[in-house]
Structure 1
Amino acid sequence: MTKPNVIEMHDITKKFGEFVANDHINLDVRPGEIHALLGENGAGKSTLMNMLAGLLQPTSGTIKVNGQAVTIDSPSKATKLGIGMVHQHFMLVEAFTVAENIILGSEVTKAGGVLDMKKAVKEITELSQRYGLAVDPSAKIADISVGAQQRVEILKTLYRGADILIFDEPTAVLTPSEITELLNIMKTLVKEGKSIILITHKLDEIRAVSDRVTVIRRGKSIDTVTIEGSTNADLAEMMV
């Protein structure tokens, strides 16, 4: 029996007053794929994914996670459903350590409600080794590189049990070598059974890691195509 799609967004519309940001958009994501969401800035990609992450609610339409219709009315509901979002602008506390940032809001406690930092650091170290996310749990966020901060954001979602990861323009702030490293991390994540949605407008990155791509233009879903069966010219034409 084929597994259901991990995500199905059907006829999703999002209005802000009179402005229609998403207009009857359809998106399906298969288990274990890297699915790119391609479009120009302002096409409505982040708005769509913010609904999947529980930061916004659709005006109309349905969302299914692993074949079940769901209402994602908060980020904590998205977390419970196994959805994690790595935002373009990191949500990290600079004065805290890597480990403190990762467990923030999901603290492990011992008897008497005491924070079990030793257990948390052990779990974080295991996750970082499994997924090739090199971080020092004791380092302060203010002292580590942008690439390392992004790895902390990814570990935050994995620590909370995410199986579906959304990356919002993740390479915008990275150096070329950090970009290569991130794309390798994505490949490792899907090998380990995760599914990824990659929001981007960079065709070369899509070609390097994605299986399929859904193009969004002016708030509408234009088409979903396989990477192998489409050229950069095809994708660029759909975008504009």
Structure 2
Amino acid sequence: MLKSLQGKTVIVTGASRGIGKGIAMRFGEVGCNVLVVSRSLADAQKVAEEIGPNATGFAADVSRGSDCDAMVKAAISLYGAVDILCANAGIFPSAKLGEMTAEDFDHVISTNLKSTFLSVTAVLPEMTKIGGGRIIVTSSITGPITGFPGWSHYGASKAGQLGFMRTAAIELAGKGITINAVMPGNIATEGLDGMGADYIATMEASIPLKRLGTVTDIANAALFFASEEAGYITGQQIVVDGGQILPESLEALNAV
């Protein structure tokens, strides 16, 4: 069993729904103080209420440095420190090349990649002060390993997070701070609402475990990276996809 994280303080960005909400809920379950960060204060507060008295909602646009600084100050004011950052905020609008505008590209890169840099920069002084910390980045299999039409900007942002992480790990190691990434595959979230049973069945058919992942599957990986037991792991990524990236084709699964 992992040693208790009870009493540690975690900031989770993009935490009002989907994977971010799952991460925030899971850290709350193990007794962490949770700052639930979302662009919508009402949505963040709703999740905080679900977690319980050890959680607080906070509104921030983490693509802005001033907002990232404000969320860190809020966590310190409320809970006295920042021990863990889960840099999860991200968007995935679809636009194929030829249709995608420069503004579309910049918006995704800013929300997904720039926000990771800004969030890490914001927590760095506090983690340095307390002598260590854990940073967990939510990347994706899309970009670093796979591709999907309409998501070239999203894929670039997710691959960019891993490039950022590897150098950050070297720079932060001497401060006792680790940084690692979770790479989700197809996860059952609100984003799949309305896609239909046939679409979901097709997705499941391409996964060796024959099911979509849950937000808890991703949250458990983040929890491990935040643990004391993971203290000698930094600059690494873990794929959580039910084996999705392993078959070279659907024929490989049909041959089982």
* TM tier, smaller: 0.3 to 0.5
When normalised by structure 2's length, the TM-score is 0.35
When normalised by structure 1's length, the TM-score is 0.37
Higher helix share: 2
Higher strand share: 1
